[in-house]
Amino acid sequence: MTATTASAAPPMPLMARGPATSVSLSRAPEVRWVLRLADTCLIHAQRLSEWCGHAPVLEEDIALTNLSLDLLGQARALLSHAGTLDGQGLDEDQLAFLRDERDYLNLTLAEQPLRRSSAHAPGGDFADVQVRNLLLAVWLKLHWQGLATSRDAELAAIAGKAVKEARYHVGHAAQWVVRLGDGTEESASRAKSALERAWPYTNEMFLDDEVDTHAAATGLGPQRSHLREAWVAEVSAVLEEATLAVPAASKFVSTGSRGVHSEHMGFILAEMQHLQRAFPGGVW
């Protein structure tokens, strides 16, 4: 892209083509299994992007933006593949921007606020960013590792690239969690509070249903419950180094991966989908 000069033609306006009708995919278990990963990456990327320009140091500002872009790339690949599996010819943009709230299947943790008007509001602390990054990055990494032997060659290929990014995400978040937890009294207190806010949502990460059973039985991908032991071991090791205690178990189970979301999801989609809904099928 080159800079516009006085003699250059004016930029093309955003043009609309066709109505902004909502789309939905089939409820086939393989499609839903892929969407759970895709939507978690997509919504987590959206939340992380909110910290662009607001991180405590410039280097971390750039790092968080890069993490968000990695997740967005993973979401794009998975959404495209979900569209292929579904067979309706829907592309990644339609699936990202034109589904209704109940048709998104991300983990509820990914949609919780990461930044609010007050840095002291729940979910509005830099510690929340790094704690959540750690919890989700380890979960995603274990999925990518499990997909290395998937019967679905496209999923295995996506995982082959994504696992390298996820390893970096885990390492980056782990360094910050240790730095905060084993730092000053103030940073340790904030890290502890962030961990307690996020931890109840982790139960959903390992709750099996018919989608998980189908994925494991057909060789599509790992069953969520089978990832718990490795996830707990890796996360606990980081928390121990950070001098942070693993929070007490909670009976709370969130349901985002079943399409039943928290009150925050609608606001995310309103922001994400505004341009596509205002200019249906818009092209530049």
Domain with 51 in it: what CATH number? 1.20.1260.10
- Asked if residue 172 is part of any domain, the answer here is yes
3-state SS assignment for residue 146: helix
Question: What's the confidence (pLDDT) of residue 158?
Answer: 98
Question: Looking up tokens 């959540």, which residue turns up?
Answer: 132
Question: What's the confidence (pLDDT) of residue 118?
Answer: 46
Which residue range is the domain that position 41 belongs to?
29-264
Domain count, the chain: 1
Q: What are phi and psi of 87, to 5 degrees?
A: 85, 10
- Asked if residue 20 is part of any domain, the answer here is no
Question: What's the confidence (pLDDT) of residue 1?
Answer: 36
- Asked if residue 283 is part of any domain, the answer here is no
Inter-residue contact 163 to 148 (CB < 8 Å)? yes
Residues shown for the chain: 284
Instruction: Tell me the average confidence (pLDDT) per consecutive run of 10 residues in the chain, 284 residues long.
Output: 42 51 91 98 95 84 94 98 95 94 97 70 81 98 97 98 98 98 97 96 97 97 97 98 96 96 95 88 70
- Asked if residue 15 is part of any domain, the answer here is no
- Asked if residue 280 is part of any domain, the answer here is no
Question: Looking up tokens 């979301």, which residue turns up?
Answer: 261
Question: What's the confidence (pLDDT) of residue 78?
Answer: 98
Question: What's the confidence (pLDDT) of residue 19?
Answer: 53
Question: What's the confidence (pLDDT) of residue 13?
Answer: 52
- Asked if residue 281 is part of any domain, the answer here is no
- Asked if residue 270 is part of any domain, the answer here is no
Tell me how far apart the alpha carbons of residues 142 and 123 are, in angstroms, rounded to a whole number.
25
Question: What's the confidence (pLDDT) of residue 57?
Answer: 85
- Asked if residue 62 is part of any domain, the answer here is yes
